[in-house]
Structure 1
């Protein structure tokens, strides 16, 4: 693990190398982009890629920094990726998810999606979380998983349309129109969740890590994470706390994730007499797209929480 100084030095070196490449290749505007004639947009990871593609449409060339199947929190940037960011008309990210991206973006040509919505506080555990000093430097006071609330993501879509319209004025109306259409689809998805989770036997959501705070906040559920983040192993004390709560509140399902080992969740499920099910935090590309994966999540929640709609 790099120290804070080493990371800053490395990012500075990468940025300097990228700047030389940028000078040779152009600025990433619609006129001087990659040769496609489209505005270059870089998305940090999958949900932002999906949103950028919806809003950018045929006027934007969208690339993503985090490959499918890769845990976004683990992302390290090489010179080609830093060059992508420097060349882009706009980089779309969420501060607090990927420290390497936080370090590399330029405030003038980047859009932190978390700034477009009201945020909720990050989860807190009393146990030692095993983070390094460097990781603490990059933590934010809010929960960064904003895309798991479709209504908030609709707000982000609208703001993204405005930012792309500013970056590429020649196609401003197209960006705004597509942003409005995307926001409407996301608000409709929000209504599906609200209806589908309105009447449930239990409202307690026990998850592998605390990624679903916004979903819980929007639909009046209670999230209990085994760990604060996917990098951290829970202490025996934390496992005991979650197990007691799960038994007390009649939890029948412990939720796991596709990119995180299910072993801890399976141990907890055995202990409390529950089963496990996958709830996708959508940090990597699913088999379908954002909307279909969220609908799959809704069905999983309805079954696990005993909901009737």
Structure 2
């Protein structure tokens, strides 16, 4: 692997320097011996650091999940900087070069990263380990609107789950070729990629990342498993918090700015009513706006959710029209500067989402 080649280069350089030190005069042998020893120690430290896996991740949830699994055995770098909306990002030539030099690339898949096909084509034949974190997860068909569910808003979790299983009766692999043909950055090829917003599915993504890292560095397989086990325990506790916190909600439907919460809604027996489609920069038509306003009035909706990193104008317009308030429901596609400053992470933001949903669904 690349990291071992770099390590061997450094160790060879260390050996050359040690041999050169042995050829010096006896009068300075002690000092030179000390310097040689220090040099060897420095080279060993440097070699150990370079031996760490060099990992690139596509956007924040992939970064956080990978960081938790890798621990101190990898240098994990997120490609998208804080404050940048993931749907709008494109890799620069420098980013492409960095990916090529890395040992591992972790991305979500399911059409989230419209640029990834170009990257995967460019790294063919290299030693890069590529981890598609959503691989093996049943991917739902995307829907710009799910108002057809409004009459079903009082259904139980099991009824919702069965309904959505029929709608999403397509595996990730079955859709792969379809997505490649579509190739659009912002429409996700008709698939809903937002699997990380269900803690239960986040567990599956963590396990996929664990398996990929173990493939890249099999000597650390047990450490990756221990790290993954510890983080999965936290995610399972988060999942239980959502189940307990939402099971007795007075209402089951919520209006959100874009259709990012389908997996969360399905998992906890809720109904997502999105103003726009799968992409946050998709503008709803006048007819769509009127439909959402009518739904909100008929169901006495008091909160319209918007999200971070994109404009809240549409949500505020609808809220103003019906006399409702607005609140944040965070799709966690990236961290804001405020999130970073407050040291918020995936679990902390998901707990904020739970609190926001509990408040809105019990008004």
Q: For residues 116-155 of structure 1, what are the alpha-carbon distances to aligned partners after superposition, in whole Å with 9 as ceiling and x for unaligned?
A: 32222111459xxxxxx86379733421011100110111
C-alpha separation in 2, matches of 1:213 and 1:199: 19
Deviations 1:171-230 (A, max 9, x none): 111011111211121111000000001111211111111111111111111011111121
1:101 to 116, 124, 129: 116
Distance (whole Å) between structure 2 residues aligned to residue 252 and residue 48 of structure 1: 33
Q: Secondary structure at the match of 1:120?
A: coil
Give distance in 1, aligned partners of 2:144 and 2:306: 20
* Count of aligned pairs between the two proteins: 275
Q: In 2, distance between residues paired with 1:32 and 1:215?
A: 43
Match of 1:69 among 83, 96, 113: 83
Indicate the residue corresponding to 2:64 in structure 1: 50
Instruction: Provide structure 2 residue ranges, at least 5 long, that are not aligned to the other structure.
Output: 8-46, 147-181
Judge conservation of contact 1:30–1:39 (CA < 8 Å) in 2. Answer: no
2-structure distance, mates of 1:271, 1:102: 42
Alpha-carbon distance in structure 2 between the residues aligned to 1:31 and 1:191: 45
Q: Would you say 1:296 and 2:310 are equivalent positions?
A: no
Partners of 1:98 and 1:57 in 2: CA distance = 25
Moved more, 149-158 or 283-292: 283-292
- Alignment equivalent of 1:120, drawn from 136, 140, 144: 140
Which segments of 5 or more consecutive residues in structure 1 lack a partner in the other structure?
1-26, 127-132
Q: Which residue is equivalent to 2:326? A: 276
Cross-structure match for 1:144: 193
Q: Does 1:83 align with 2:139?
A: no
Q: Which residue number corresponds to residue 131 of structure 2?
A: 111
Name the structure 2 match of 1:38. 52
Structure-2-length-normalised TM-score: 0.71
Query: Equivalent of 2:262, from 213, 227, 232?
Result: 213
Q: Work out the CA distance in 1 between the residues paired with 2:356 and 2:186.
A: 36
Alignment of 1:18-29 (within 5 A): 28-29=2-3
Equivalent in the alignment of 1:23: none
Which whole-Å CA distance do the structure 2 matches of 1:157 and 1:55 have between them? 7
Q: CA contact under 8 A between 1:151 and 1:186: conserved in structure 2?
A: yes
Partner residue, 2:303: 253
Tell me how far apart the structure 2 counterparts of residues 214 and 28 of structure 1 sit (CA, whole Å). 38
Query: Which is greater in Rg?
Result: 2
The root-mean-square deviation of aligned C-alpha atoms, in Å, is 2.2
Task: Kindly indicate whether the alpha-carbon contact (under 8 Å) linking 1:40 and 1:88 is maintained by their aligned counterparts in 2.
Answer: yes
Distance in 2 (CA, whole Å) between partners of 1:160 and 1:277 is 33
8 Å CA contact retained: 1:30, 1:168: no
Tell me, what secondary structure is at the counterpart of 2:212?
A: helix
Higher helix proportion = 2
Structure 1: which 4+ aligned runs deviate by more than 6 Å? none
Q: Provide closer, same or farther for how the CA distance between residues 150 and 125 of structure 1 changes in structure 2, counting only shifts above 3 A.
A: closer
Q: Deviations over 1:62-98 (max 9, x none)?
A: 0011000000111111122111221222211122122
Q: Is the 8 A contact 1:55 1:157 kept in 2?
A: yes
Match of 1:119, SS state, is: coil
1:69 to 1:136, Cα distance in 2 relative to 1, 3 A = closer
Report the TM-score, using the length of structure 1 for normalisation. Answer: 0.83
Deviation at 1:243, TM superposition (A): 1.0
The change in CA–CA distance for 1:201 and 1:145 in structure 2 (over 3 A counts) is: same
